[in-house]
Structure 1
């Protein structure tokens, strides 16, 4: 498995997966990272870690189809066969979606299908959970499809919503489980029977 990542900011999932590869916990080779943000900490970190990197954004490719083609060409050139979204804040184009179909993963900070869909990202998700009065939240790793947050669920992990929770306290509890959940989901791609949605 040759892993590539799309990241807009810190790229915490990418960092955890690369570390797992280095420790022998994940039978994969980190190959490349693309960011739409030239000042992304993930981009600088990936360069230092020896991954092939590229800054590809709408500033350089204002036509979405051209941007989609440029991202795909770079990832294919890097030898990537599995693509992980690590806080990537842009929609994925149809060329990338088609090429990596069944091998394109994202993590969402709620128990999908609850609190998913267009406009539901980052702090908005946790605010929605709290506003709904849910007794639990968590994170979901799913395959990326054309529908936002609609792809098949690969793995979920749950956390309680505690009385008096704030946005920050709930977010911290969810973020604490995301790295291990993503690792389990990527490991499961090589052994599908190991995956469990819950």
Structure 2
């Protein structure tokens, strides 16, 4: 049975990366083979070590020059998953993984997307706008921030009492629940349906 190898790219703590890795632990056909970060001191690399998964630190120039792509190819990576990865993906890397690179965004795109819209910034903007709902979007990666083909969305109701922190908690719960499942469906070729 052919095993599909995933590389997860993350820039920070990496709770989503760990959640994904635990979901696929012992999976018959999907393996998290690499967890890589553009920050050498990112906690996600400590998580990789604790999970006995290879960790890799790389620089922005490694990303731009093709060195990261070489590292992925050396390990025969099939899919790239962005889980809290903050740098823009260069065209050569997207071309190397056509429709095999997924990102999760902590809002219902196309709202609250684009450069600089990540994590706390998104939740603060949602709160400031007085939104009644927010959610997550899982999409294919293209050359523009948060503009790739949307594969899945899940929403959650908000109340005026919600703080930026409680909005973040609600969104994290959606991420942990759905991101591994959607990755699995994409890799196995089954379809995902939105949850509202």
2:32 is the counterpart of 1:35: no
Residue segments in structure 2 that go unaligned for 5+ positions in a row: none
CA distance in 1, matches of 2:100, 2:194: 17
Aligned to 2:131: 134
Deviation at 1:42, TM superposition (A): 0.9
2:2 is the counterpart of 1:5: no
The within-5 A match list for 1:17-166 is 17-22=20-25, 24=27, 27-58=29-60, 61=61, 65-66=64-65, 69-166=66-163
| Number of residue pairs the alignment of both structures matches | 192
CA distance in 1, matches of 2:37, 2:166: 28
Normalised TM-score (structure 2) = 0.90
CA distance in 2, matches of 1:133, 1:2: 41
Residue segments in structure 1 that go unaligned for 5+ positions in a row: none
CA distance in 2, matches of 1:86, 1:175: 12
Deviation at 1:50, TM superposition (A): 2.8
CA distance in 1, matches of 2:44, 2:85: 11
Deviation at 1:56, TM superposition (A): 0.6
Q: In structure 2, do the counterparts of structure 1 residues 147 and 12 end up closer, same or farther at CA, with 3 Å as the change threshold?
A: same
Aligned to 2:167: 170
CA distance in 1, matches of 2:63, 2:104: 23
CA distance in 2, matches of 1:196, 1:27: 22
Deviation at 1:110, TM superposition (A): 0.5
- Tell me the alpha carbon deviations over residues 18-57 of structure 1, each in whole angstroms, 9 at most, x when there is no partner: 1111254x74111112111111111122133232322111
Deviation at 1:99, TM superposition (A): 0.8
